[in-house]
Chain A
Amino acid sequence: IAGITQAPTSQILAAGRRMTLRCTQDMRHNAMYWYRQDLGLGLRLIHYSNTAGTTGKGEVPDGYSVSRANTDDFPLTLASAVPSQTSVYFCASSEEGGTGELFFGEGSRLTVL
């Protein structure tokens, strides 16, 4: 089934540890995004990539980095996790043209202690 796969689904992490959330899509979409979702707040964009080889900063990029070596993969790395990064992280992609609607992965629930 075509779509976006995120891993891990859930993770508990000690503060100060490095963590990479993986995201892979098989829809050949050029644009990909990482959002975090916290209770009472709208989805907030962390980083995005309009095409392979390019990335950009979103609304809340501090403490996170991304890479886009190819069309399919868009990993998100927390270099040194802090408790405020406890959240649900969603990877998404969109195709060019049409409405530009987002297709989301199932999410990665991260708890930093």
Chain B
Amino acid sequence: GQNIDQPTEMTATEGAIVQINCTYQTSGFNGLFWYQQHAGEAPTFLSYNVLDGLEEKGRFSSFLSRSKGYSYLLLKELQMKDSASYLCAVRDSNYQLIWGAGTKLIIKP
């Protein structure tokens, strides 16, 4: 079966760095997405990786290793507004998105 694993919850301190991991087992691979979802709101797109390596976008970076079925989202200089759930999703060989359950990130002052 297809599966996306990510930690249920993480806690970090304002100003620090946090890495949210995502491992996947899917039927084929056509890209990996990270979305941010604040409580009670819709998911919003953060990043997309289809080739191995690091994609940097401001304070957020996303890394992909296709051979290991692994990605991480790195958030630097954490701000209180970064408290949210972070969703990992993989597009499989049929171009369908498989979603992880999300990682709830709690930022403490």
- Is A106 a contact of B101 with CB atoms below 8 Å? no
- Is B48 a contact of A104 with CB atoms below 8 Å? no
- Is B4 a contact of A42 with CB atoms below 8 Å? yes
Bound-state Cα–Cα, A101 to B41, Å? 17
Bound-state Cα–Cα, A104 to B91, Å? 17
- Is A100 a contact of B42 with CB atoms below 8 Å? no
| Closest chain B residue to A48, Cβ basis | B96
| Closest chain A residue to B44, Cβ basis | A104
- Is B48 a contact of A99 with CB atoms below 8 Å? yes
Bound-state Cα–Cα, A44 to B102, Å? 13
- Is B101 a contact of A42 with CB atoms below 8 Å? yes
- Is B87 a contact of A42 with CB atoms below 8 Å? yes
Residues of B in contact (CB 8 Å), total: 22
From residue A58, how far is it (CB to closest CB) to chain B in Å?
8
From residue A91, how far is it (CB to closest CB) to chain B in Å?
9
- Is B87 a contact of A43 with CB atoms below 8 Å? yes
A74 at the interface (CB under 8 A from B): no
Binding site for A on B (CB under 8 A): 4, 8, 31, 33, 35, 41-45, 48, 87, 89, 91, 95-102
Binding site for B on A (CB under 8 A): 40-45, 58, 90, 99-107
Starting from the known contacts A43-B97, A107-B42, 11 additional A-B residue pairs (CB-CB under 8 Å) come to: A41-B101, A42-B4, A42-B87, A42-B100, A45-B97, A58-B96, A99-B33, A102-B45, A104-B44, A106-B41, A107-B41
